[in-house]
Chains A and B, each alone.
Chain A
């Protein structure tokens, strides 16, 4: 197969970027999208042009490093598929494919297709944890958890933190990411003590960096793990409740 790639090139965070056109020929249908970028890069190095910078690591769809806009869609056309798991059999021979970095105010471009997603870490830092120091855990089977609850928590916990939801959202919102983390912990019995503080802290931190949600629903279709926007509804409910509950806890003399 032969493809024409239009790739966003940008030398640095402050440099001006533009699209460059490259040919990828002799591509096998079994190649992954990133392997095509590898081949293009080998060609570029041969010709003395700096290779395209892109994020990647595990190439198994789990580390969340990779992620580019492919023909305007985060991670490309296939549902529940990260860029590294997208294979060229998805495309037609001769296609022109446009490749861009995630576009969001909270994700500044570092170079070419690489963006800075550390704002997501800031949200986790604000409350995406259960405060349990090493050594203070109780015996694991002392906390029975109904299978349905555990499964629902796992559905949320599967998030790989790639940022596709933000890139797909016209508002650059991180509601899907944030709600997945909040609900993973809020659903579990272990997560109850900090439920309301967690929700308020993480949502407030999210709003420092990201846009607001207007229910477009693009995020759940872009999500390589198929995380449902239902979690956003749960998060909104908990956020609203947290505004009351946290004050009430505060009024009883508990630190919030």
Chain B
């Protein structure tokens, strides 16, 4: 396998434009001869499908939800970055590019990040035109706020529901194309295999989740926009159904999987309240703009928060990082919170959180201003915890939130399987080892609205005159058989424990050994424990019911089986990366004051893994990263 990123030549500011000019075009009359499959209907999937259909391609969208609008992009709260510089505070495309490369701890591809930063401004225009009701100033202009890891205000938002509003915008564009007949929408249908014929993506095998029917759909190109793999931890802020299956099955058909160990633990989530916890809820990072994070200085301080005087509080982020304070990037904030809780100074009944306190901000701005900014988040917190954050400080703790790793893609977002493109969180591309807040929405929409419609066209132009591989081809039939066989195996195992039981156990291993801090011995232990648990799962899982109807245990079984394999790769990738960077923190590699100790000499590369068959470890391929514009330095937020 050869990794060629196909980065265009020339100065970084001109690369995308010259690349666009050099791309082959497909004439309007020929576009309708091409079939494109989009899997997933989140920001990247819905925007790509709508934009490709507007161009004239015929698009089929598969979603396992009942409606495309339910994709997990909907849950993003805080905002979307764009280098509009409306605030006149010194922002620019170059600064957004610089911040993203630095925030990613110098592990992303500069060219991709520059393109992302330059497209960010078009995204805002597009979304406003669609009717996305972003927050506005009284004069009618768009409002911005600041976010962790940066010193300018470039984040656009719609109350605490920015993801929802952006997704509804993309969904409306998609539904318009459905109404026009340019998109065939197939809801409640899950992709279970990628079919590759003569080295090219030829289509997918799917299962209709209501009837259980397994069938194939062929196309000239396949776009995977299927999100991240945070649920490998079992407890995460991801939606319950979010999974790695589509990406993983593409990996097993030849798509390299990159940087699996870069997982983002978000600092501000509501701590677990007990064993029954089924998922964790994020409280937008924007809260750190006005909230102050602290713990009592004395671990045994049992007084309620408001009775603890200032002198007995430790605002540890403000103390350790005076220039960024509570707005340090996510990885830094998360590790700092973990250290407080590990040292016994955690707060709450289970001593598993730290305070995020708004008393000072309410005093300064008034309750109504805080309500205007964060009202819905406060309500959400109250509903979940039963505590009123206007009176009592919130309790927060880090939780898995986003995965920077994913399928390897080149500059055109094409994986190592020609014709298989990957957009949004499912690819590894733009965030390096750590994603900055409000950049996920930006990337998903940049990929879908402004990158894939061009690059997919360039690929298709080379296929002019060719028909899609027929679904009767034996590669499709074999893949269908494999999918049906797996289903039968799950239903026939008839063991003792539910799928969820195994998922929880797997999550515990991954969180303990491959969570916020990783050690060599822990990772080696994980590499022994995960296969052992997988063997138990294969032998002892209990999936009831039948294959010919709605059966959520059966759906989960396939997803958890893939999480097992992914977890092994996660451990292997984390073990081989003998450095600390961004979301990957190896205890052996830290500076004397406990910060990440990066090794640019030996590890400034993308680690892309090639599948070698079940039971055989993947092999590593390296894409060397060069930094011609932003020179690597140790990130300092002090």
Interface residues of A (CB under 8 A from B): 11-12, 28-32, 34-35, 38-39, 41-42, 45-46, 48-51, 53, 55-65, 78, 80-81, 85, 87, 89, 110-111, 114, 116-118, 120-121, 124-126, 128-141, 143-147, 150-151, 153-154, 157-158, 160-161, 184-185, 188, 190-191
A154 touches B159 (CB 8 A): yes
Q: Is the pair B544, A59 in contact by a Cβ cutoff of 8 Å?
A: no
What are 17 A-B contacts defined by CB distance under 8 Å? A30-B274, A32-B384, A51-B553, A59-B281, A62-B161, A78-B383, A111-B549, A121-B175, A121-B178, A129-B130, A130-B172, A134-B453, A141-B141, A143-B129, A157-B131, A157-B158, A184-B131
Indicate whether B464 reaches chain A with its CB closer than 8 angstroms: no
Given contacts A65-B65, A147-B137, contact A140 B281 (CB under 8 A): no
Q: Are A158 and B550 in contact (CB under 8 A)?
A: no
**In the bound complex, do residue B47 and residue A134 qualify as a contact, i.e. CB atoms below 8 Å apart?**
yes
Output the residue of A56, A89, A140 with the most chain B CB within 10 A: A140
Which residue in A56, A85, A87 is a CB contact (below 8 Å) of B240? A56
How many residues on the B side are at the interface (Cβ–Cβ under 8 A)? 80
Q: CA separation between A62 and B163, bound complex, in Å?
A: 10
In the complex, A131→B134 CA distance in Å? 18
Expressed in whole angstroms, the minimum distance between the Cβ of B330 and any Cβ of chain A is: 19
Find out whether the CB atom of B178 lies under 8 angstroms from the CB atom of A125.
yes
| Chain B residues whose CB sits within 8 angstroms of the CB of A150 once the complex forms | 133-136, 140
What residues of chain B lie closer than 8 Å to A56, measured between beta carbons?
240
Beta-carbon contacts of B511-525 to A below 8 Å, as 1s and 0s? 000000000000000
A63–B239 touching, CB < 8 Å: yes
Q: B374 → chain A, closest Cβ, in Å?
A: 15
How far in angstroms is the closest Cβ of chain A from B281? 5
- Is B70 an interface residue when CB atoms closer than 8 A count as contact? yes
**Bound complex: CA A133 to CA B54 (Å):** 7
* Inter-subunit contact A128/B175 (CB<8 Å): yes
* CB atoms of A118 and B67 under 8 A apart: yes
A44 nearest in chain B by CB position = B544
> In the complex, A31→B450 CA distance in Å?
43
Q: Which residues of B contact A60 (CB under 8 A)?
A: 75, 281-282, 380
Say yes or no for B341: interface residue by CB 8 A criterion. Answer: no
B23, CB-defined interface residue at 8 Å: no
Residues of chain B contacted by A141 (CB below 8 angstroms) = 84, 86, 141-142
Q: Do residues A110 and B550 form an inter-chain contact, with CB atoms below 8 A? A: yes
Which of A64, A126, A151 contacts B179 (CB under 8 A)?
A126
Given contacts A87-B383, A129-B175, contact A188 B131 (CB under 8 A): yes
Q: Is the CB of B128 within 8 A of A137?
A: yes
Within the complex, what minimum Cβ distance (angstroms) separates B301 from chain A?
A: 23
CA distance A228 to B126 in the complex (A): 28
Asked if B131 contacts A35 (CB within 8 A), the reply is no
> Which of A121, A129, A157 counts the most B-chain CB atoms under 10 A from its CB?
A129
A153 touches B133 (CB 8 A): yes
Q: Select A35's contact among B172, B176, B278, B380, beta carbons within 8 Å.
A: B278
CB distance from B379 to the nearest CB of A (A): 8
Is the CB of B449 closer than 8 A to any CB of chain A?
A: yes
For the complex, what is the distance from the CA of A147 to the CA of B424, rounded to whole Å? 31
For A80, A116, A141, the residue with the greatest tally of chain B CB atoms inside 10 Å of its CB is A141
Please give me the residue from chain A that is nearest to B139 by CB atom.
A144
Q: Which of B138-190 contact A (CB under 8 A)?
A: 138-142, 158-159, 161, 164-165, 168, 171-173, 175-176, 178-179, 185, 187
Q: Does B15 contact A (CB under 8 A)?
A: no
Contact A12 B239, CB 8 Å, known A117-B66, A184-B133: no
Is A138 a contact partner of B75 (Cβ separation < 8 A)?
A: no
Known contacts A38-B278, A58-B75, A185 near B179 by CB under 8 Å: no
B486 on the A face (CB < 8 A):
no
CB of B279 closer than 8 Å to a CB of A: yes
How many Å from the CB of B363 to the closest CB on chain A? 25
Q: Which residues of B contact A158 (CB under 8 A)?
A: 159, 161, 164
Q: How far is the CB of B24 from chain A (nearest CB, A)?
A: 19
Query: Which of A39, A55, A58, A137 sits near B66, CB closer than 8 Å?
Result: A55
Q: Which residues of A contact B281 (CB under 8 A)?
A: 59-60
A117 vs B68: C-alpha distance when bound (angstroms): 12
Is A62 in contact with B75, judged by CB distance below 8 angstroms? yes
CB distance A121 to B67 under 8 Å? yes
B48 CB to closest chain A CB (Å) equals: 10
- Given A55-B66, A126-B179, CB of A110 within 8 Å of CB of B125: no
Closest to B82 in A: A140
Q: A117-B67, A188-B131 are in contact. Are A34 and B383 (CB under 8 A)?
A: no
Complex contact A137–B175 (CB within 8 A)? no
CB nearest to A116 among chain B residues = B66
A residues in contact with B253, CB < 8 Å: none
Interface: B435 (CB within 8 A): no
In the complex, residue of chain B having the shortest beta-carbon distance to the beta carbon of A28: B274
Q: Are B549 and A12 in contact (CB under 8 A)?
A: yes
Distance between Cα atoms of A199 and B171 in the complex (Å): 18
**B160: nearest residue on chain A (CB-CB)?**
A62
Q: A124 to B69: give the CA distance in the assembly, Å.
A: 11
Most interface-central of B137, B171, B278 (chain A CB within 10 A) = B278
Q: Name B44-83 residues within 8 Å CB distance of A.
A: 47, 50-51, 54, 65-70, 72, 74-75
What residues on B are CB-neighbors of A38 within 8 Å? Answer: 276, 278, 500
Bound-state CA distance A129–B171 (Å) is 9
Q: A32–B272 Cα gap in the complex (Å)?
A: 12
**A-B complex: 5 closest residue pairs judged by Cβ atoms:** A144-B140, A137-B129, A129-B172, A30-B273, A137-B125
| Bound form: Cα–Cα A147–B135 in Å | 8
Q: Determine if B386 is an interface residue (Cβ-Cβ < 8 Å).
A: yes
* Contacts A28-B273, A62-B161, A125-B179; A143 near B130 (Cβ below 8 A): no
Give the chain B neighbours of A87 by CB distance below 8 A: 383-384, 386
Alpha-carbon separation in the docked complex, A136 to B312 (Å): 57
Whole-angstrom CA separation of A138 from B379 in the bound complex: 36
* B residues less than 8 Å from A157 (CB atoms): 131, 133, 158, 165, 168
On whether A31 and B131 interact (CB within 8 A), knowing A45-B544, A61-B380, the answer reads no
The answer to whether B67 and A58 touch across the interface, beta carbons within 8 angstroms, is: no
Judging by beta carbons under 8 Å apart, are B131 and A147 in contact? no
Q: How far is the CB of B321 from chain A (nearest CB, A)?
A: 29
